[in-house]
């Protein structure tokens, strides 16, 4: 049973997604959270990062909208099928999150490229911080690792997805990859793999976090169709209302990045 350690609604700060707007997160810090308890939060728009559970609490903005893909009705479009084909030679392993130098090096290479190309702030993520943020012990935590076995030096880790699995939900939390493999559209291929994995496991929904149509890095989620959007920010004791979404313009797939400001470091 979950034990609440802290509950905070942060003071408004500059928004990382939308310039000239302010953002605020409501955060719960908990331990001993079961998969069922986590799913109760997930379907009401909460996300997990380590021991923190969070959702937007912005007073004057509702642009962050929780999005989920109904697995049974999903069909990849042409661009997504091309990404899957481009990554077909890669090997994928699903297991518990791990911490090692290979994973740290991949994260650093990916983040360094974002610092150069998108002017992100630097991220000094060491083994301890990685363990807390990406590999915190949790019964739902999963890792989807992509390997290139054709590298002359041996199997090479080229992409890593941090995910959560509950009885009725698969949640894509974070994804980063080797910048040298950007041409393969690993972000799109990763989402397709997770949808297919959820279908195999009888999981009806894949949660992609928050769609923000005015933000290039998060608008791409609308390209996975059909999808559903959560109405508002339901209370923990209220029934969540999900509605089928009308088609929205597609944008290039990127990293899944719904992490709090302290994690995203941008």
Give the span between the Cα atoms of 30 and 49, in whole angstroms. 11
Domains of the chain, start order: 65-231+238-264 (3.40.630)
**Which of 137, 145, 120, 96 lies closest to 259 in space, CA to CA?**
120
User: What is the pLDDT tens value at each position of the chain, 266 positions in all?
Assistant: 999 999 999 999 999 899 889 999 999 999 999 999 999 999 999 999 999 999 999 998 999 999 999 999 999 999 999 999 999 999 999 999 999 999 999 999 999 998 888 777 887 789 999 999 999 999 999 999 999 999 888 999 999 999 999 999 999 999 999 999 999 999 999 999 999 999 999 999 999 999 999 998 888 899 999 999 999 999 999 999 999 987 544 444 444 555 544 444 33
| DSSP secondary structure letters along 191-251 | HHHHHHHHHHTT--EEEEEEE-TT-HHHHGGGGSSS-EEE-S---TTSPP-EEEPPP----
- Tokens 């797939």 sit at which residue? 253
Query: To 10 degrees, what angle do helices 78-86 and 186-200 make?
Result: 90
User: Whole-angstrom Cα distance, residue 263 to residue 166?
Assistant: 23
Q: Is 61 helix (H, G, I), strand (E, B) or coil?
A: coil
What pTM did the predictor assign?
0.91
């Amino acid at each position: 049973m979950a034990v609440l350690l802290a509950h905070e609604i942060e003071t408004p700060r500059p928004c990382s997604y939308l310039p000239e707007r302010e953002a605020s997160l409501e955060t719960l810090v908990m331990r001993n959270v079961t998969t069922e308890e986590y799913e109760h939060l997930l379907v009401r728009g909460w996300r997990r990062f380590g021991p923190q559970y969070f959702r937007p609490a912005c007073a004057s903005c509702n642009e962050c909208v929780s999005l989920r893909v109904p697995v049974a009705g999903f069909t990849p479009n042409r661009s997504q099928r091309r990404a899957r084909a481009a990554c077909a030679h890669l090997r994928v392993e699903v297991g518990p999150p791990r911490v090692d130098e290979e994973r740290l090096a991949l994260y650093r290479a990916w983040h360094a490229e974002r610092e150069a190309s998108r002017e992100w702030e630097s991220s000094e993520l060491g083994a301890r911080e990685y363990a807390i943020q990406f590999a915190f012990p949790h019964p739902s935590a999963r890792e989807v690792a992509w390997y290139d076995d054709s590298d002359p030096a041996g199997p090479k880790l080229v992409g890593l997805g941090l995910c959560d699995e509950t009885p009725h939900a698969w949640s894509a939390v974070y994804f980063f990859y080797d910048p040298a493999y950007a041409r393969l559209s690993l972000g799109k291929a990763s989402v397709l793999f997770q949808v297919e994995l959820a279908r195999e496991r009888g999981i009806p929904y894949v949660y992609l976090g928050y769609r923000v149509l005015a933000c290039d890095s998060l608008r791409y989620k609308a390209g996975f169709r059909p999808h559903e959007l959560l109405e508002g920010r339901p209370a923990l004791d209220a029934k969540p209302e999900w509605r089928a979404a009308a088609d929205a313009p597609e944008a290039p797939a990127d990293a899944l990045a719904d992490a709090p400001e302290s994690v995203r470091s941008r």
